[in-house]
Amino acid sequence: LTGGTLLSTGTVGAATASYTTPTISSTTTYYVSAYNAALGTAVVGVGATTSATYPNPFYSNWANQKQQVLILASELQSAGLFAGNLTDLSLNLTSTSTTTRTGFTIKLAHTTAVALTTTYLTPSFTQVYTGNYTPAVGTNSFAFGTGGGSSSSFNWDGTSNLLMEICWDNTASTATENSNATADNTSYASVVSYNRTSTTGTSICGLTVTGTTYTVRPRYTFTGQTACTSTPRQAVVATISTAPAI
């Protein structure tokens, strides 16, 4: 079935959607269908290069790193994501040291920023992962809800840019932790990173810092709402009857 005027596109996964009620003067046929988003994976980037320095969250010349990563809504949409819950993210390492990264923590937030600067952003973050993590060559996945205080999902609104904050700190070490991640160049500053250059008993994760920006970003894969399924369109007739005489 085809035909009819679209009343609203709405937003897939949004809690509410506004509709324009038409004015009609004669019997009119409308067509309705229900759409549902399905869970799947979406890859942001093609992996055209690699990152063996600070855009890679596992690398550090001093056994600690605090970074923020920006992904534009247009990039998430192009990857096939719709509004809804994100429940996992992953990235690929082509090589890495296998030293455990202490207190490896991931937080997510919406942002209107279109590029990062040396000043870290301070939105209301949702922690989705924390724990001592040992990286490995290949896919490294982080199931949301892991670790105390972590949420099992992050509800992306489908239109905002996405900000990730990733941090870990082996506070007693100054070792170089090498790692190489599948990555892509970006046209904007997509990563800002800071590392402490001395040992301390205090993790950098809770500190206010400024960092260095980069235009290289690891290729991230998200688990979220990636496909729409719909029911067949059905005709609904709005019948106009002559008003009774008064």
**In this structure, how many other beta carbons lie within 10 angstroms of the beta carbon of residue 99?**
18
Q: What confidence score (pLDDT) does residue 109 get?
A: 98
Q: Which of 32-41, 117-126, 213-222 has the lowest mean pLDDT?
A: 32-41
Question: Rounded to whole angstroms, how far apart are CA atoms 3 and 9?
Answer: 15
Residue pLDDT, tens place only, 90-105: 999 999 999 999 999 9
Q: What confidence score (pLDDT) does residue 12 get?
A: 44
| Mean pLDDT estimate for the chain | 91
Give strand pairing partners of 190. none
Residue pLDDT, tens place only, 143-183: 999 999 999 999 999 999 999 999 999 999 999 999 999 99
Q: What confidence score (pLDDT) does residue 233 get?
A: 82
Q: What confidence score (pLDDT) does residue 11 get?
A: 47
Q: Are 133 and 101 in contact (CB under 8 A)?
A: yes
Strands (E) located in 54-160:
64-71, 84-86, 88-96, 101-111, 126-133, 138-143, 154-156
E strand or H helix at 212, and its extent? strand 212-214
CA atoms 106, 127, 158, 13: torsion sign: positive
The burial of 43, by beta-carbon neighbours within 10 Å (0-12 exposed, 13-18 middle, 19 or more buried), is given as: middle
Q: In the chain, pLDDT over 70 holds for what percent of residues?
A: 89
Residue pLDDT, tens place only, 173-208: 999 999 999 999 999 999 999 999 998 889 999 999
Banded model confidence at residue 106, pLDDT cuts 50, 70, 90: very high
